[in-house]
Amino acid sequence: MAVNLGESPIHRKAKLSEPVTLPPRELVYEVEQFLFREVRLLESERYEDWLGTMTEDIQYWMPGIQSRFRKDKAPKYSHSRMALFDDDLFNLRRRVTRALHDTAWAEDPPTRTCYSVSNVEVEPIENTDEMTVHSVILAVRGRNETEQDWLIARRKDRLRRIGEGLLRLSRREIYITQSVILSKNLNIFL
């Protein structure tokens, strides 16, 4: 007896897509160096310098994730639901000030971090000085003698050229893989 597989996703014929236009290698290299420098600033707790890599209108957003069955068509992420971070420059500055303050006992001794950024894709936005940058980040955090946390996330950034052609971060969306955060806190930046 023959089985009609019809339009199952596995047996559909692949549709040819438009040819991909790659960005110039120099631009990809420049963006990668921007991202690598950013995590080096975070690892060395140079938070004021890190804030200097952002535009005045930065939006730094990390939504909570909801695990949903495939048949549930509601989005996994939404601006109308809880966010773990939804910060502008003022709130990012406030978080940095708090982390460096003498009364931040949770940061004494300081958290040790190591970041890895990969899977960098650059998509210039036509007729603008902006680009969308996709990447994956792995953040390993060590506390005291025995605590260690791993956070993995996909990021979608918007970078903008300002002034003398310098790149600045104007928007960051962080999509973590965990629906339940196993870390005791989220006192690091991603």
Residue 15's pLDDT is 67
Give residue 60's domain range. Answer: 25-65+82-176
Q: Quote the CA–CA distance of 149 and 175 in Å, as a whole number.
A: 17
Residue 17 domain flag = no
Q: What is the pLDDT of residues 67-79, one digit of tens each?
A: 777 887 776 666 7
Whether the Cβ atoms of residue 132 and residue 155 lie closer than 8 Å to each other: no
Residue 184 domain flag = no
CATH code, domain with 160:
3.10.450.50
Residue 167's pLDDT is 97
Residue 39 pLDDT exceeds 90: yes
Q: What is the pLDDT of residues 83-94, one digit of tens each?
A: 888 999 999 999
Residue 139 domain flag = yes
Rounded to two decimals, the pTM is 0.83
Residue 86's pLDDT is 92
Query: Structural domain tally of the chain?
Result: 1
Residue 157 domain flag = yes
Amino acid at 11: H
Going by C-beta distance under 8 Å and a sequence separation of 6 or more, which residues neighbour residue 85?
60, 61, 62, 174, 186
Residue 156 domain flag = yes
Q: Quote the CA–CA distance of 104 and 90 in Å, as a whole number.
A: 19
Residue 114 domain flag = yes
Going by C-beta distance under 8 Å and a sequence separation of 6 or more, which residues neighbour residue 139?
113, 114, 115, 150, 151, 152, 153, 188, 190
